Amino acid sequence: MKKKSIEIRFFFSDKNIKKALDLWKKEKRKFESYSFTDFYFIKNKNIIKIRKWHSFHQPKIELINAKRKKGLKTEKGKTVKNIQAVINNLKKQGYKKSAVIKKRRAWLVKKQNKPTYAIEHIDKLGWSGEIEVLEKDKNLIQEYLNYLKLVGAKDFSKKSLLDLFKSR
């Protein structure tokens, strides 16, 4: 499946994440928990990540080809069964392991007719959030950001998580 979207990442202090989560619970938003580890491999400008799910997600392991161009993120994923075989194959193709990003505590925060937020605690980064806006809905981005600022989000970025992770 191929997915194209504008991804905006933002951050919360420990105090503000509690405020945001409490507000979303009062608004009766649905929380779907998840947990996974992404293993990033890079060759030239090509980025491949292997996602190993720890939560009740199917498939358990995915191979995701990620690209960014002018703020638009495109991901194409497929199911894999043997993570070590995939790693060996990537290395044979000249890919180098770049980073491992663990998301141990994370939720999709949803409510009908409202944007969905991914809220995650990421090693080395702390509390982070992400909103993916379809290209056709890009005119709504400022409205979404204004709301997020009201609930305590800060440091908005269109940089990839990998770039933000490496910069810390």
Distance CA 64, CA 166 (A): 19
Residue 49: count of CB within 10 angstroms of its CB: 23
pLDDT of residue 163: 87
In a domain, 110, yes or no: yes
Report yes or no on 167 lying in a domain: no
Cα angle for residues 164, 11, 76 (degrees, 5° grid): 55
Average pLDDT over residues 125-129: 95
Q: What is the pTM of this model?
A: 0.86
Instruction: Assign 151 to helix, strand or coil.
Output: coil
Give 24's pLDDT tier (boundaries 50, 70, 90).
very high
| Domain presence at residue 20 | yes
| Confidence check: pLDDT of 11 > 90 | yes
**Count: domains in the chain:** 1
Burial 143-168 (b: 16+ CB within 10 A, else e): ebeeebeebbbeeeeeebbbebbeee
pLDDT at 1: 53
Q: Is residue 168 part of a domain?
A: no
Cβ atoms within 10 Å, residue 139: 8
Query: CB neighbours of 10 closer than 8 A, spacing ≥ 6?
Result: 128, 129, 130, 131, 148, 153, 154, 155, 156, 157
Within a domain: 97: yes
- Residue 119 and residue 17 in contact, taking contact as beta carbons nearer than 8 Å: yes
Q: Is residue 72 part of a domain?
A: yes
Q: What is the rounded distance in angstroms from the CA atom of residue 103 to the CA atom of residue 54?
A: 9
Please indicate, yes or no, if residue 135 is contained in any of the structural domains: yes
Note the pLDDT tens digit of each residue in 106-121.
999 999 988 999 999 9
3 state SS of 27: coil
Residue 92's H or E segment, with its range, is: helix 83-92
CA separation (Å) from 88 to 62, 76, 77, 152? 15, 20, 18, 43
- In a domain, residue 94? The reply is yes
Residue in the block written with tokens 């400022």: 142
CATH number of the domain to which 71 belongs: 2.40.320.10
Q: Using CB atoms within 10 A of its CB, is residue 43 exposed (0-12), middle (13-18) or buried (19+)? A: middle
Residue 81's domain comprises 2-162
